[in-house]
Amino acid sequence: MTTTTLAVLVPLLPFLGAATGLLLGRTAPGYVRPLAILPTLAAAVIAVVVAARQGGGPAIDASTRLTPTGSVPIDLALHLDGFAVLVAVLVGLVATCVQIYSTAYLRHDPRYPSYAALVSLFTSAMLLVVYSGDVMVLLVGWEVMGICSYFLVGHYWETPEARAASLKAFLVTKLGDVPFLIGLFALAADTGTFRITGILGAVANGGLDHPTLIALLLLAGVAGKSAQFPLHTWLPDAMAGPTPVSALIHAATMVAAGIYFVARLLPVFAESGAALVVLAVMAAVTMIGSGLAALAQDDIKRVLAYSTIGQLGYMSGALAVGDRGAAVFHLLSHGAFKAVLFLAAGVVIHAAGTNSLTAMSRMGGLARRIPDAYWTMTVALLALAAIPPFAGFFSKEAILVAAEHTALGERHVAPAAAGWTVLVAGLLAAVLTAAYATRLWLLAFRGRGAEAPDHGRQPAAMTTVLWVLAIPTIGFGLTVGVITDWFDGHSLTPSVTTAVLSTGVGLVGGLVTYGAWHHTMALAARTPAGAVVAHPEAEPALIEAEAMTHHTAGYGDAPGTPDPADPGRLLLGPLHRHAATGFHLDALYATLFVRPVQAAASLVRFLDREVVDTYVRGSGTGARWLGTAVRRAQTGNVQTYLSALLAGSLVLAIAAVVFANVNAGS
């Protein structure tokens, strides 16, 4: 089979798996698991084959005309360059791991068939985004992901948190998607094509008339999808979904799509220096704000969610300095270690019976209960904190090097201001990243207190995939010399200055956190906070759902728990209160947007119920009254009727005579 045929199969297989799974889910429950895993696995294998065949060479393009629209045609096109094939491999790998993990995690869930089918559909949509060579077809995958995230985040729709979170995820990303669509149309209007190759060719020839406007419109959609400030608020709340879904959304699909899209169309953005500076500021605010917020969260998954936002900020930063190689490199390594972190967090929540770090810090020996999760999570946290030689170090270095070169004027793709913004914010965020990674590790695995409850061994399906994903987490960075062919042939090796600087600040962040933890540990014994699991033998997903439901009652609301033993509280000082709530952005949005919209909705409701309906009801009442009046004439006395008949005939006769005379006279 040709590479093109294979590439078509990659998004198609999970899609067929999803369709069959949805159709057969009820009638043939035995086929649900194979239907969930096998197509995704096959897609992953084929993606590897496609990547090997493409081999970082020139981009492979194939297309067939989908719709002759009369103006700008829409093509079913493939555009396979080094970025596309590598990201597809990551998506396939993570999706396969998530599917395998889910078979154990949601093993007794009654809605597992639809869940697995939606995960497959999600994967297929992301693969479509990755391979598509036509932005309209890309948009289809983009929107399918939006609706899939709505369904999957709302998987536990019995809980109000999940319902609110899924709606929020959908609405916030849609808020970005509207300008995104307009941006795509503006782009097509300027370049006259939806094909990515065509767009890039037009940009190279200077065919773009409104680069800043288009870039800013597209950035709005990217900010929504990739959870960048100011549209990031949906991501921490999306933790109300099951853990494998979080892993999928955060590691490979959905949030990666925005970054990937900018990477594909980077020349369009590079046309406008203003857009790059906006992107750089957006990235800087995102990185630092999310780092501070992550340091204050209590829910283990919310820490990871804010960490994802921060790492996506790094990728946006790399794009802002015009280095898409570094951005996609970080996207890949982040995909690997963030998948490990989330899947391991699922194991931790299952074993501890709670998602609260406060409760875990009062629980001794959790690391001994779940050695697989402990070790893989340790490795992944080291990668997250960019400690050499793990994958995160190399990819973050590539970004900082690009930022440094831009700031010092050695690269001229982006303005120096963008370079400085990204560099400074990146180093600050490196401190914060190391700090919250250390805090997470210490609170989760170095707790002291009552022994963690023993639930027996974790299912093999859940622990094996952790090790599978730990391999790229450890080793992917070391391939940095080999894979440059895939990334525009642009060197991604770290430079000494930034390596020493970022590792140094990372170590400082980690050590300060350790010191603070050591200091506050003594306070922990005074405020006990234990976890009680209602159904210790139940499936992990149920335990997680219960933990989420009981979190507020047991430990305070999900973001901030009044725990004096929290090192984050000591480190952040007065900032902690604000950081815990994500710097009150949700409250601000509630005041600025949610309440006005609700007020407008109640006004519309009032107009509909009280004004429009009054007319409708009035016409009914009027006809009724008229009918009542007319009915009075219906006396039942035949003589009355006859009299009326006679009177009417007389009037008509007289009228006829009079008119005849009048007309005759005229």
Partner 1 sequence: MHLAYPAVLAALLFCTGLYGVLARRNAILVLMSVELMLNAVNLNLVAFDVWLRDALHSGQALTLFTIAIAAAEIGIGLAIVLAVHRNRGSSDVDRLRDTAETDAAESLPGDEDDTTGTEDQATAPAGKAKKAEATA
Provide the minimum distance between the beta carbon of 20 and partner 1 in the complex, in angstroms, as a whole number.
52
- Is 205 or 634 the residue whose CB approaches partner 1 more closely? 634
Rounded to the nearest whole angstrom, what is the least distance from the CB of residue 637 to partner 1 in the complex? Answer: 6
Task: Report CA-CA distances (Å) from 529 to 88, 367, 395, 449, 526.
Answer: 43, 19, 39, 10, 10
Strands (E), 104-144: none
Cβ proximity to partner 1, 1 vs 647, nearer residue: 647
Q: Are 576 and 568 in contact (CB under 8 A)?
A: yes
Nearer to partner 1 by Cβ, of 592 and 647: the residue is 647
Nearer to partner 1, 553 or 638 (CB): 638
Helix (H, G, I), strand (E, B) or coil at 528: coil
Instruction: Tell me how far the alpha carbon of residue 578 is from its chain's centroid.
Output: 23
Tokens of 366: 């959790």
Mapping DSSP to helix (H, G, I), strand (E, B) and coil, where does residue 75 land?
strand
Residue (596 or 648) nearer to partner 1, CB: 648
Q: Which token pair is 468?
A: 């599978």
Choose between 527 and 635: whose C-beta lies nearer to partner 1: 635
- Rounded-to-integer distance, Cα 229 and Cα 601, Å: 27
Polymer length in residues for the chain: 666
CB 104 within 8 A of CB 459: yes
Q: Which residues contact 187 (CB under 8 A, 6 or more apart)?
A: 135, 199, 208, 214, 218, 268
Distance CA 602, CA 604 (A): 5
Task: Please say which residue, 481 or 622, places its beta carbon nearer to partner 1.
Answer: 622
CB of 661 to partner 1, least distance (A): 22
Residues 6+ apart with CB under 8 A from 594: none
| Residue 240 near residue 548, CB atoms below 8 Å | yes
| Residue closer to partner 1, measured from CB, 553 or 633 | 633
Q: Which amino acid is at 314?
A: Y
Taking the complex as a whole, how short is the minimal distance between the CB of residue 645 and partner 1, in angstroms?
10
Kind of pairing between the strands at 60-67 and 74-80: antiparallel
Give the nearer residue to partner 1 in terms of CB position, either 526 or 631: 631
Distance in Å, CB of 621 to partner 1, minimum: 15
Contact 331, 260 (CB under 8 A): yes
CB of residue 624 to partner 1, shortest distance in Å: 10
Is the CB of 629 or the CB of 664 nearer to partner 1? 629
Provide the minimum distance between the beta carbon of 29 and partner 1 in the complex, in angstroms, as a whole number. Answer: 50
Taking the complex as a whole, how short is the minimal distance between the CB of residue 619 and partner 1, in angstroms?
Answer: 20
**Minimum CB–partner distance for residue 620 and partner 1 (Å):** 16
Q: Give least dist CB 630 to partner 1, A.
A: 9
Burial annotation 353-390 (CB, 10 A radius, 16+ → b, else e): bbbbbbbbbbbeebbebbebbbebbbbbbbbbbbbbeb
- By C-beta, is 643 or 661 nearer to partner 1? 643
C-alpha distances out from residue 223 to 42, 227, 239, 311, 513, Å? 32, 5, 19, 13, 31
Cα of 389 vs its chain's centroid, Å = 29
Q: Considering the complex, what minimum distance in angstroms separates the CB of residue 540 from partner 1?
A: 59
Compute the least distance from the CB of residue 632 to partner 1, in Å. 8
Minimum CB–partner distance for residue 665 and partner 1 (Å):
27
| Omega of the bond leading into 113 within 30 degrees of 0 (cis) | no
Strands 60-67 and 450-451, how do they pair? unpaired
Query: How far apart, in whole angstroms, are the C-alpha atoms of residue 29 and residue 413?
Result: 54
For 140, other C-beta atoms within 10 Å of its C-beta total: 15
In this structure, are residues 486 and 381 in contact, taking their beta carbons and an 8 Å threshold? no
Chain residues in the site for partner 1 (CB under 8 A) = 631-632, 634-639, 642-643, 646
Q: Name which of 178 and 623 has its Cβ closer to partner 1.
A: 623
Cβ closest to partner 1, residue 628 vs residue 666: 628
